Structure formats: C-alpha cells, structure tokens
Amino acid sequence: MSNLPKTRFDVIVVGAGAAGMMAAIEAGRRGRRVLLIDHADNPGEKIRISGGGRCNFTNTRTSPKQFISQNPHFCVSALKRYTPADFIKRVEANNIAYHEKTLGQLFCDGSATEIIAMLTRDCREAGVTTRLKTSVDTVEKTAGGGLRLTTSGGDVGCDALIIATGGKSIPKMGATDFAYRIARQFGLSIVETRPALVPLTFTGDLLDEMKALTGVSTDAEVSCNGAKFREALLFTHRGVSGPSILQISSYWREGDDVSLDLAPDVDVLARLKTARQTNGKQAPHTVLAEFLPKRLADAAAARAGLTGKIGDASDARLKTLSDAVKQWRVKPVGSEGYRTAEVTLGGIDTDGLSSKTMEAKTTPGLYFIGEAVDVTGWLGGYNFQWAWASGWAAGQVA
C-alpha cells in the first residue's frame, strides 16, 4: 500500500486500441474523469493495419458460437448488450461508408483510419485525456483504496483501472504481456496463450511441395479437431495460409493432422470415372485441372503417383487420386507464431472476472477487456466486436 499520488483520475485506461478507446469513451460520457495511456506513438495501431487497411470492424453474424474460451458462456452478456448493430450506428452517424465483403464481414469503403478518427474524436468529445508514448512500469493498491500507476510520465492514481493492452500477437506493433503480468500480480490465473489466426508451417518433402505451389489459391474446406471452415486456402513458401487456414489454426495443436478438401463442391471420384469412360487418353492431371488450379492439379496427380492415361487407371488408383484432392491429410510442424498471428488465443482466465462488467472479482476497481481476456473470435470482424462489447461493458461501470 502507498499514499495517493497528486495527479488523480476517476478512471485510467491502459491501452489505446479498439477496446481501450471504447471503454474510455463510455466512461467519459458518464462524466468520469478519464486518462487513456498507451506506449505507442499513435492510437489504434492494430485497427490501422486490420482488414488490409480497411478495418473489418464487425460481423453482422456475431453470436457466442464464433468465440473460443474455456468458458464459452462468458462472452454472452457483453455481446448481447452491445451488438454489431450498435457499432454500425456509430459508423453511420459518422458518415463512414462501408460494405459487406462476405459472410457478414463489414469493411470500410475507404480506410481504417476513419474508424480511428471516429474513436479519437469521441474520446476528445467525452473529455478523455490521452497520453501517448507513455509506458506503465508498476501498478499497486493505495492506502486510500484506489490504484497507483508509476509511468514514464510520472505517477498517477485512479479509482478504477481498465487494462486493454491486448495479447502477444504482432509484437512489431508493440504487443507485450503487460496485461498478463498485472493479472497475475492481482491473483488472476492465465489460460495458456498461443498464436491464433496464423499461417501453418511445414518441413521436409511436404514443405517442398508447398513451396512449389507458392501463390496458388483455391476454395477449400479445412477441418481439424471437429472444427471445419470453408474459405480460400493459399500456399506459401512456408506452408499454407489464407482465411480457411487462419480459422483452423485456432483449433490446431502441435502433432495434429489437418484435413484439406481442395474441391468441396466436386465429386472428384465420379468425375475421374466419367473421364476414364469418355476420354481415356487424357492424363489424370488434365481432368483435375478442370476444377483445380493447374499447378495444384499437377501436384495432386504426382502425389498420388498416377501418370499415363486415365483410361488405364483402376478404380483403386482413381480413388487414391480422389483422396489426394478430397482428403489430403497434412501435419504442420508449427505456425508462423506471434509475428504474424492476428490474435492471441487464451489469456486472462474468465473465472476471475465478472461477465457483466469485466471487473476482477478479487480486486474491486480493476478491469480487463479485449484480447487480453480468454475470449478469442474467429476471423472476420468478431474480435473487433468483442473489443467494442467488452470495452463498452467496462465503460458503463468503471
């Protein structure tokens, strides 16, 4: 315990990202004196690079089923009380043009900086004091019942502290384990963290095959551990990427196989048998190229060891080739890690937090929101919606 610092706010929010700015705005609109701190040069850096620079700011299909957590019910309260429609109203009120790309994913027509400008303006109008290029060194309880922060800009105190510093993903953007360290300091548990929404990597002969396919993209259905996603798959010089792979990476564990269906709408075996009857002089890879990119068709035929004329192939050989397309089982050796991961899976154990307010059960006045918490959304705007909803929830009460 220590004495109260001279500079004091009602609420301090650490982390000027999506969740942190939302929480600061909501607390400020309630008349609270709010300080927003971030060590970065500018607010909303992950917003700026998201969605290819256009910010996939929410998903109209948001429901709890698109989120991964040890407690799948934790996210329900915040998501129900602050919905995609609520954020869309803010976007429209600020005349930010947007469109649906696919599967409920909403993107700015222009730039992600429009979302940052909206949030920055809302912070200013809500009376929020913002201090950038400011690091927080320590957090401790004070004798007066509040909290004291030692920062690079001097000591500050508050009645309520909201931690919104995210996870470990994309360290070049300034990601750190600050939230986890503070959580542990105040007795909260951490669910094991790992990179999620991340490309998968390979070694050996399999990597050689992937490298030869670098740049090839195809619609695919990808499955692992009971989860299944159908979206684009992209081959890279390290392995596989694309939306379908990023999605399945959140369910993959080291040692697991991933099953790839490279032609989800095609009965490949039937097509091969028909081709054998109608044009037996064709090469097998020529038939596959009718519905697969040519390089991918060539690679599948080579992997199945099927050469010559398709008319000479037995049913068993055609089945082997079909399986090479429809049930290609691959075993990644790892992922590209936090360097390219869009989010961090795991985080602060929700058992220690209120699902309504995000407040730590053992430390009144201490809140954790956004990616730092063990709630991780699918690719497609879901993690932004969790940021808005959890930030809004904390901002109503802090």
Confidence of residue 2 (pLDDT cuts 50, 70, 90): very low
Contact between residue 180 and residue 372 where contact means Cβ atoms under 8 Å apart: yes
pLDDT tens per residue across span 262-298: 999 999 999 999 999 999 999 999 999 999 999 999 9
Across 312-328, average pLDDT: 97
The residues, ordered by sequence, that sit 6+ positions from 88 with a Cβ below 8 Å of its Cβ are 58, 98, 106
Domain 199-335: CATH superfamily, name plus number: Translation factors (2.40.30.10)
The ranges assigned to domains in the chain are 8-194+344-395, 199-335
CATH for 8-194+344-395 is 3.50.50.60
- Confirm whether 8-194+344-395 and 199-335 share one CATH topology: no
* Cα distance between residue 349 and residue 132, in whole Å: 28
pLDDT in tens, 103-158: 999 999 999 999 999 999 999 999 999 999 999 999 999 987 899 999 999 999 99
- The Cα 119–Cα 133 span in angstroms is 18
Residue 172 banded pLDDT, cuts 50, 70, 90: confident
Look at residue 1 in the predicted model and tell me its pLDDT. Answer: 44
Q: Could you give the CA distance from residue 182 to residue 151 in angstroms, rounded to a whole number?
A: 14
Residue 144, pLDDT score? 77
Structure-token pair, residue 395: 């901002």
Per-residue pLDDT tens digits for 344-376: 999 999 999 999 999 999 999 999 999 999 999
Task: Give residue 43's region: left, alpha or beta (phi > 0; psi -120 to 50).
Answer: beta
Taking residues 327-345, report their average pLDDT: 97
- Averaged pLDDT for residues 20-29: 98
Residues shown for the chain: 398
8 A C-beta contact, residue 209 and residue 237: no
Which pLDDT score, from 0 to 100, does residue 4 have? Answer: 56
pLDDT tens for 217-265 read 999 999 999 999 999 999 999 999 999 999 999 999 999 999 999 999 9
Q: Which long-range contacts (CB under 8 A, 24 or more apart) does 273-280 make?
A: 273/315, 273/318, 275/310, 276/310, 276/311, 276/313, 276/318, 279/310, 279/311, 280/309, 280/310, 280/311, 280/312
Residue 3 confidence (pLDDT): 55
